[in-house]
Amino acid sequence: MNYLQKRILKDGQVIDEKILKIDSFLNHQIDPKVMHEIQSDFFDYFKSREITKVLTIEASGIAPAIMVAAHFQVPMLFAKKSEPSTLAGQDKFSTLVHSFTKNKTSEIIISKEYLNEHDKVLIIDDFLANGEASLGLIDLVKQAGAEVVGVGICVEKSFQPGRQRLIDAGVDVHSVCRIASLAGNKVTFVDEEDE
């Protein structure tokens, strides 16, 4: 069992059969030790690949993404969920993403200034549920003519369709931990279920 799995068992709260709350170390308060362990897992998996940029979506993806970007020594770019006045009038890539937790569809944007056809992009996010956020980010990378190197996920809920949708899109997905079930107020990981 890796460090993130141990922390989920110790400090995670199962809200219902589909939602896990990890606000005490990742989604609200952030524990640097957890971030360190996560980034080293991503680095081990993707280190042989050429990566020029790490891309995520605000807000919860930013912490793990900046750690990974620091290790690869490349910039980290995050898609914004609303257009700030500083981006008004600039050329942008945009797409629509349906939020699993908020049950609402919103536009996400990045400035064309920061992504181009020479980029090799590693996408990082905190959770993978239906894959909407990751597929939205992949769409932005494709609009730029850049290459998606892979998707790195901190917590994958493997009982939801996100992973399969990404694999179907031809993307290399690596998750630090994979949750098989949240049934019965209990977290079961995929590797445990296989044992």
User: Considering the rule CB under 6 A, would residue 101 count as an interface residue with ligand 5GP?
Assistant: yes
Min dist CB 127 to ligand 5GP, Å, is: 4
Residue 78 is a binding residue for ligand 5GP (CB under 6 A): no
* 137 is an interface residue for ligand 5GP by CB under 6 A: no
Exactly one of 11, 31, 107, 132 binds ligand 5GP (CB under 6 A); which one?
A: 132
Least distance from ligand 5GP to the Cβ atom of residue 126, Å: 5
Residue 136: CB minimum distance to ligand 5GP, A: 8
Closest CA to 133 of 60, 72, 75: 60
Considering the rule CB under 6 A, would residue 162 count as an interface residue with ligand 5GP?
Answer: yes
Contact 177, 129 (CB under 8 A): no
Interface of this chain with ligand 5GP, residues 35 to 64, rule: CB under 6 A: 60
Query: CA–CA separation, 177 vs 175, rounded Å?
Result: 5
* Cα(96)–Cα(136) distance, integer angstroms: 7
Using alpha carbons, list the distances in angstroms from residue 186 to 18, 103, 129, 142: 11, 24, 17, 38
Work out how close the CB of 88 gets to ligand 5GP at its nearest, in angstroms, rounded to a whole number: 26
Question: Which positions ≥6 away from 191 have C-beta within 8 Å?
Answer: 178
For residue 57, report the phi and psi dihedrals to the nearest 5 degrees. Answer: -125, 140
Per CB under 6 A, residues contacting ligand 5GP are 19-21, 27, 60, 100-101, 125-133, 162
